[in-house]
Structure 1
Amino acid sequence: MDIRIHASFLPHDDPDAALAFYRDLLGFEVRNDVGYGGMRWITVGPKGQPTSIVLHPPAADPGITEPERRVIAELMAKGSFAALTLATEDLDGVFERLVAGGADVVQEPADQPYGIRDCAFRDPAGNLIRINQL
């Protein structure tokens, strides 16, 4: 069976801040930027790789009630709604670039007891972004 990850979804509450983080700081290319009904979906991904991240407005799902939207907004504000793990061969270089760009540091590069060296940030929407050393 040949199954691949095509796209992941992360919520955003400020499309311009999301672009500044994913495009300008992480260096991802913008693959799609679509607005509809006052909302905006932005698809980004690493250059040369087919996997994408769709940055979406959390209010877009018509099945979510207003009380649920408020809970999602609260969880996003606390940074506990969504997460993503990335990987790089130059963890320290990426860390320094993100720090220099003003990213919200959660954890400096560290050797984890389970064998991975990683660091962590929050994107502008509060999503936890972990970056592993390859």
Structure 2
Amino acid sequence: MKIHLSSVMVDDQDKALSFYTEVLGFVKKHDIPMGGPRWLTVVSPENPDGTELVLEPDGHPAAKPFKEALVKDGIPFTTFLVEDVQAEYERLRDLGVEFTQQPADMGTVITAVFDDTCGNLLQMHQMKS
């Protein structure tokens, strides 16, 4: 069994697509009209046939309170693996990304947490050797 799809709930699919591709560097995989919200996925350019991230509309009544509670408590919804957290932090910060946690050593990983502009906190981490 493999993880094929994972979702992040977003408040605006166009804004999310822009952020996840132009800022984070993912590549659009699918953009399929569905009569309103669309089936919209992105992938890592390093693994275009790998796990797809669905930019899922947060229209369900439970989605917004759930997202707001996570953000209020500082809990990231999703974590991305990067080679160098400090370098990626500086690159994203220079692009105007807002961080709620600067790079921090957490023992076996280094992490940083940022706002995706679509109602979520995201974490990036680097595995330490």
Q: TM-score, normalised by structure 2?
A: 0.82
Give runs of aligned pairs for residues 111-126 of structure 1, distance below 5 A.
111-112=105-106, 114-126=107-119
**3-state SS of the aligned residue for 1:36?**
coil
Superposition RMSD in Å: 2.0
Deviation at 1:10, TM superposition (A): 1.0
> Which one of 15, 27, 30 corresponds to residue 29 of structure 1?
27
Q: How many residues are aligned here?
A: 122
Give runs of aligned pairs for residues 12-91 of structure 1, distance below 5 A.
12-49=10-47, 50-59=50-59, 69=61, 71-77=62-68, 79=71, 83-91=77-85
Q: TM-score, normalised by structure 1?
A: 0.79
Give runs of aligned pairs for residues 88-103 of structure 1, distance below 5 A.
88-103=82-97
The 1:109–1:22 alpha-carbon spacing in structure 2 relative to 1, beyond 3 Å, is same
Following TM superposition, the consecutive aligned residue runs of length 4 or more in structure 1 with deviations greater than 6 angstroms are none
In 1: Cα distance, 2:84 partner to 2:110 partner: 11
Q: Contact 1:76–1:125 (CA<8 Å) still a contact in 2?
A: no
Deviations 1:2-49 (A, max 9, x none): x22111011111112211221011111100112222213310010132
The 1:48–1:115 alpha-carbon spacing in structure 2 relative to 1, beyond 3 Å, is closer
Deviation at 1:105, TM superposition (A): 0.8
Deviations 1:56-94 (A, max 9, x none): 1122xxxx5xxxx1x422333453697111111121111
Where does the alignment leave 5 or more consecutive residues of structure 2 unmatched?
none
